[in-house]
């Protein structure tokens, strides 16, 4: 029997010690590539028993070329670069690692919301320009009088709600897959889609990207919101029609937006969002902390080993 072979198609980590240790302990060989194209993945991965993938494309052509692969693990939450349907048709499990940065992403979402609610970027720019003024330029509701809302009620959304609880405001959520009772148990009111947009003062998105959720935030829904409302997205970029969002920000339809993810990344230098002083923009860093990277690598390597051994997988996304 040939030795089991695990391929890291590509990565941007400082080192791969966690993968090396975990996979060697399972008796498998670890090979590292830095593939950028599908053809490069095919050349490197043809006889691999498992793939660890960061950004490289694993499309239908790649999957058709795999001769021994049992499992594909995506470093991170999104699996947009893996053809799930093609993998399922070949009997190859695809897994993500959704629990490595739950607290970090929730922290970032809440930080964006709070900074905008307190108008910190705007006041900072005003002060640097030479204006000393002890009141904000626009209305600033007290946090204890605001409604914090999440679209979605998974792990990250629940963590964000827990963080916001201390500020004393109302908390609501929209998620058709979570019961009213489950939300009420942690002090959150379940609402429908229209209520989500009409009642939210701070709206944080925590949804997967599907055909139904693309442009979940669009012109029509922005127009349903309060003029002092703030939208935050640390989930998937295409959840927001960012051109429509920029237009709404410039027209004063809503008060602010905090984005860490975009429809196209890197975000285009001439995107209209950059002309919006009430937009707080970060570069897909919500997942990061000094401990989140090694945690991601360790959890991904452990899932690979389960796949090689035929054990139950924790996070298969193409069942």
Selected catalytic residue, list 145, 194, 223, 265: 265
Tens digit of each residue's pLDDT (9 = 90 or more) over 62-92: 999 999 999 999 999 889 899 999 999 999 9
Tens digit of each residue's pLDDT (9 = 90 or more) over 135-179: 999 999 999 999 999 999 999 999 999 999 999 999 999 999 999
Architecture of domain 5-100+291-309: 3-Layer(aba) Sandwich (3.40)
CA distance 134 to 111: 22
- Does residue 236 have an active-site annotation? yes
Selected catalytic residue, list 46, 126, 155, 284: 284
Selected catalytic residue, list 236, 271, 302, 306: 236
**pTM (predicted TM-score):** 0.88
- Does residue 265 have an active-site annotation? yes
- Give the model's confidence band at 2: pLDDT under 50 very low, under 70 low, under 90 confident, else very high: confident
Residue 221 burial by CB count (10 A; 0-12/13-18/19+): exposed, middle or buried?
buried
Q: Which residue has the tokens 């929730």?
A: 106
Q: Where in the chain is the domain with CATH 3.40.50.720?
A: 5-100+291-309, 102-281
CA distance 282 to 262: 10
Architecture of domain 102-281: 3-Layer(aba) Sandwich (3.40)
Q: Are 188 and 173 in contact (CB under 8 A)?
A: yes
Category of 119 on φ-ψ map: left (φ > 0), alpha (ψ -120 to 50) or beta: left
């Amino acid at each position: 029997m040939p030795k089991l072979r695990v391929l890291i198609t590509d990565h941007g980590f400082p080192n791969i010690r966690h993968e090396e240790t975990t996979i060697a302990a399972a008796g498998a060989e670890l090979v590292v590539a830095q593939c950028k194209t599908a053809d490069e993945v095919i050349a490197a991965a043809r006889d691999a028993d498992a793939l660890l993938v960061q950004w490289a494309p694993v499309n239908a052509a790649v999957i058709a070329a795999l001769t021994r692969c049992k499992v594909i693990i995506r470093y991170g939450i999104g699996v947009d670069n893996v053809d799930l349907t093609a993998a399922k048709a070949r009997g190859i499990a695809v897994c993500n690692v959704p629990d490595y940065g739950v607290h970090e992403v929730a922290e970032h979402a809440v930080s964006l919301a709070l900074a905008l609610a307190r108008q910190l970027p705007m006041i900072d720019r005003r002060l640097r320009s030479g204006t000393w003024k002890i009141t904000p330029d626009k209305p600033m509701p007290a946090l204890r009088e605001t409604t914090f809302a999440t679209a979605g009620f998974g792990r990250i959304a629940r963590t964000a709600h827990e963080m916001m609880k201390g500020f004393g405001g109302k908390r609501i959520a929209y998620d058709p897959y979570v019961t009213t009772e489950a939300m009420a148990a942690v002090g959150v009111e379940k609402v429908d889609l229209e209520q989500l947009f009409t009642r939210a003062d701070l709206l944080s998105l925590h949804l997967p990207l599907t055909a139904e959720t693309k442009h979940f935030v669009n012109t029509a829904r922005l127009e349903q919101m309060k003029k002092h409302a703030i939208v935050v997205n640390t989930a998937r970029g295409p959840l927001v029609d960012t051109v429509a969002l920029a237009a709404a920000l410039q027209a004063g339809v809503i008060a602010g937006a905090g984005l860490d993810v975009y429809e196209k990344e890197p975000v285009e230098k001439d995107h209209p969002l950059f002309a919006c002083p009430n937009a707080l923009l970060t570069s897909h860093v919500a997942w990061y902390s000094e401990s989140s990277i090694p945690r991601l690598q360790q959890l991904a390597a452990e899932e690979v080993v389960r796949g090689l051994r035929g054990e139950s997988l924790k996070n298969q996304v193409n069942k």
